[in-house]
Amino acid sequence: MEPEKERNSENSRREFLKKSGVLTALALTPTSLVAALDKKWDEKVAEYFETVQLIIEINGKKHSLKVEPRKTLLDLLREDLQLTGSKKGCDHGQCGACTVHVDGVRVLSCLTLASMQQNTKVTTIEGLAEGRKLHPMQKAFIKHDGFQCGYCTSGQIMSGIACIKEGHANSREEISEYMSGNICRCGAYHNIVDAIQEVKKNGEKV
C-alpha cells in the first residue's frame, strides 16, 4: 500500500475506534450518573460526531440541511422543520403515528434515519391539502368521524392513502390487515375503514 493511502487508512481506523469507544462508554454509563451530568453533555457529544449534508424534498419544497447521522426523519421533521403533524407516539415503530411517505412509500419516520434519505421526496400530512382544498382521505375521515382525540389521525390518513395505492383496500378485512400497524387508542377503527372504503369506491386520486 502507498504511504499516503496507508496513513489515511490508519487515520480512518483510529477515528472509527474513538467514536466506537464513545458510544460504548455512553451505553455502559449508569442512568443515575448520566442524570447528574452537566446539561450541556448531550451538546458536547453531538458536536463530536460529524454532521452530513442532506438534500431532501419535503412536501414539494427542497431543503439543504446538515444533520447528525443519528437523527431520525421524525425528529428532523418535528424539531428542525416544525412540521409537527407527524406525531411521536411510541418512538419504537409500533403505533404508526409517525407514518409519512418517502418516494410514495409509507415509512415509520421514527425508525428512519434522516441521513439515509438523500435526494428523496417526503410527503407529510401537511403536504396533502392543496391550499384550503382537503385531500379526499382527509374529507372522508371528517365525514365518517374517523378520529376522536386525533393523535393517531395523521398516521392513519397517510397509511390509508398508502393502503389504496398498494392495492390493499379491496375489502374491510384486507384494509384492517394492512392498517394493523396503526394503533388508535380511541377505537375508531370501524370509522377509519369506512373512510378508506369510500375513497377507494369513489376512485378519487390519492
**Helices 136-143, 153-165: crossing angle, 10 deg rounding:** 120
* Torsions phi, psi for 130 (to 5 deg): -105, 95
- pLDDT in the model for residue 34: 54
Identify each DSSP E strand in the chain by its residue range: 52-58, 61-67, 99-102, 105-108, 121-123
d(C-alpha 204, C-alpha 141), whole Å: 14
Mean pLDDT of the chain: 87
pTM score = 0.77
Return phi, psi of residue 8, to 5°: -60, -40
Please write the tens of the pLDDT for every residue from 94-141: 999 999 999 999 999 999 999 999 999 999 999 999 999 999 999 999
Give dist(CA 124, CA 155) in Å, integer: 9
Question: Tens of pLDDT along 21-69?
Answer: 555 655 665 655 555 555 555 665 555 568 999 999 999 999 999 999 9
pLDDT of residue 104: 97
Share of the chain above pLDDT 70, in %: 76
Read off the amino acid at residue 154: S
DSSP string, 62-126: EEEEEE-TT-BHHHIIIIIS--TTS--SSSSSSS-TTEEEETTEEEEGGGSBGGG-TT-EEE-GG
Residue 98 cell numbers, joined: 409517525
User: Residue 3 has what DSSP assignment?
Assistant: H
Q: What's the confidence (pLDDT) of residue 204?
A: 85
- Which of 1-5, 143-147, 165-169 shows the lowest mean pLDDT across its residues? 1-5
Identify the pLDDT of residue 136. 98
